[in-house]
């Protein structure tokens, strides 16, 4: 019996499996219930009584030795698999190409982050609106051209239900239910009944801002615009304001920035003027404040609005607006590294 134990121990000592599957087969061969070590334990009942102590001790030592040996072999094989220089554990099961953020999302989030640093919070509203919030509360005359069907999408020819033409409707909703101070920015999609071309689309995106409080002046508006322009296009950017007209602001202005391509020297992009128009702005008309339940004798405010597509064109020189909505992967992949 002792001779069989020593032979089996010597045999186990020389084991050298090539892989984990072979190591498992060896474990079954030697340590399973029907394995070679177990068979020796079955023969133990036939050992004379005066030899049981010595043989029993040898059997226990054999089982421990076999278990430790095979476990050690398994661990060495597992470690070898993990440290295999040809195995990259960081790879996905199948190659997955990285996506990219849409350029409009990149620019919109950039605009929001700039105004966030000025204390503006994001406000949102419905895209299907009523006449009051889109037009009447914002001082649009009853015969204003924007109310015509060739300019606005009405729902089932209902003159009171329409797709919003600007995110100013969000401003009127906030002013109806909030007392100043109000400092909000309103990003969102808007709709206008226009022919689709490289320079126009029937839907696009706007970001508008509103600030209403006591003693708000045009100087506050100008400083806000200068800060925004320099944060968006660089510290060397200059601005200029030109008189304009909007029903909901008085006085109103269009804002230009010095061309970020030629530095204001003049190029084909800015039509050799050195300036590029980017947004409209002005002081909130007192009629708008009163229509929304805010005392115009106590409070004043300013509003501004810009097209996200327009800002994206300026930042990335995208010349065709249709590219933003056609989902061309070749176009979108150009913005994988954009911030």
Give residue 324's pLDDT.
Answer: 87
Q: Are residues 163 and 222 in the same domain?
A: yes
Q: For residue range 187-235, list pLDDT tens digits in order.
A: 999 998 888 887 778 889 999 999 999 999 999 999 999 999 999 988 9
Task: With CA atoms as reference, report the closest residue to 70 among 19, 7, 22, 26.
Answer: 26
Domain annotation covers residue 189: yes
b/e map 108-137, b = 16+ CB within 10 Å: bebbbebbeeeebeebebeeebbbebbbeb
User: Hey, how many other C-beta atoms are within 10 angstroms of the C-beta on 289?
Assistant: 20
13, 47, 82 — which closes off a domain? 82
Task: With CA atoms as reference, report the closest residue to 144 among 243, 279, 248, 242.
Answer: 248
Q: Which residues of the chain are under the pLDDT cut of 70?
A: 44, 80-89, 92, 94-98, 146-150, 337-339
How many alpha carbons fall within 13 Å on the CB side of residue 119? 7
Q: Which structural domain, as residue segments, surrounds residue 51?
A: 2-82
Q: For residue range 76-87, list pLDDT tens digits in order.
A: 877 765 555 566
Through-space distance between the first and last CA atoms of the chain, rounded to whole angstroms: 77
Q: Are residues 161 and 288 in the same domain?
A: yes
How many alpha carbons fall within 13 Å on the CB side of residue 13? 7
- Domains held by the chain: number: 2
Q: Work out the percent of the chain whose per-residue pLDDT is above 90.
A: 40
b/e map 172-182, b = 16+ CB within 10 Å: bbbbeeeebeb
Strand order in the sheet with 239-246: 121-122, 182-191, 203-213, 300-307, 275-284, 249-258, 239-246
d(Cα 116, Cα 229) in Å, to the nearest integer? 14
For residue 144, what is the domain's CATH number?
3.30.930.10
Give residue 82's pLDDT.
Answer: 52
Question: pTM for this structure?
Answer: 0.68
Q: Are residues 190 and 73 in the same domain?
A: no
Q: For residue range 101-110, list pLDDT tens digits in order.
A: 888 999 999 9
Q: Are residues 52 and 174 in the same domain?
A: no
d(Cα 132, Cα 168) in Å, to the nearest integer? 11
Domain annotation covers residue 21: yes
């Amino acid at each position: 019996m002792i001779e069989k134990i020593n032979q089996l121990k010597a045999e186990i000592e020389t084991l050298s499996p090539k892989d984990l599957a072979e190591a498992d087969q060896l474990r079954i061969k030697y340590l399973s219930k029907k394995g070679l070590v177990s068979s020796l334990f079955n023969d133990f009942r036939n050992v004379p009584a005066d030899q049981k102590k010595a043989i029993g001790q040898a059997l226990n030592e054999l089982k421990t030795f076999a278990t430790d040996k095979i476990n050690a072999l398994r661990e060495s094989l597992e470690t070898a698999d993990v440290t295999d220089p040809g195995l990259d554990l960081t790879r996905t099961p199948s190659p997955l190409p990285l996506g990219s953020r849409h350029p409009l999302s990149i620019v919109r989030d950039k605009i929001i982050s700039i105004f966030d640093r000025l204390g503006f919070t994001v406000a949102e509203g419905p895209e299907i609106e009523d006449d009051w919030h889109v037009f009447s509360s914002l001082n649009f005359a009853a015969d204003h051209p924007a109310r015509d069907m060739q300019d606005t999408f009405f729902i089932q020819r209902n003159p009171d239900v329409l797709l919003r033409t600007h995110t100013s409707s969000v401003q009127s909703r906030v002013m109806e239910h909030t007392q100043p101070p109000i400092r909000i920015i309103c990003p969102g999609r808007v709709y206008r009944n226009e022919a689709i071309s490289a320079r126009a689309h029937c839907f696009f995106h706007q970001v508008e801002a509103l600030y209403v409080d006591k003693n708000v002046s045009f100087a506050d508006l100008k400083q806000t615009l200068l800060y925004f322009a320099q944060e968006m296009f660089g510290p060397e950017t200059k601005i200029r304001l030109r008189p304009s007209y909007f029903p909901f602001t008085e006085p109103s202005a269009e804002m230009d920035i010095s061309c970020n391509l030629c530095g204001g020297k003049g190029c084909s992009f800015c039509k050799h003027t050195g300036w590029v128009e980017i947004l409209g702005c002005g002081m909130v008309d007192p009629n708008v404040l009163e229509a929304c339940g805010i005392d115009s004798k106590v409070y004043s405010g300013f509003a501004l609005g810009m097209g996200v597509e327009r800002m994206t064109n300026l930042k990335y020189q995208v010349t065709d607006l249709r590219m933003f909505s056609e989902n061309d992967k070749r176009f979108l992949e150009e913005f994988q590294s954009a911030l």
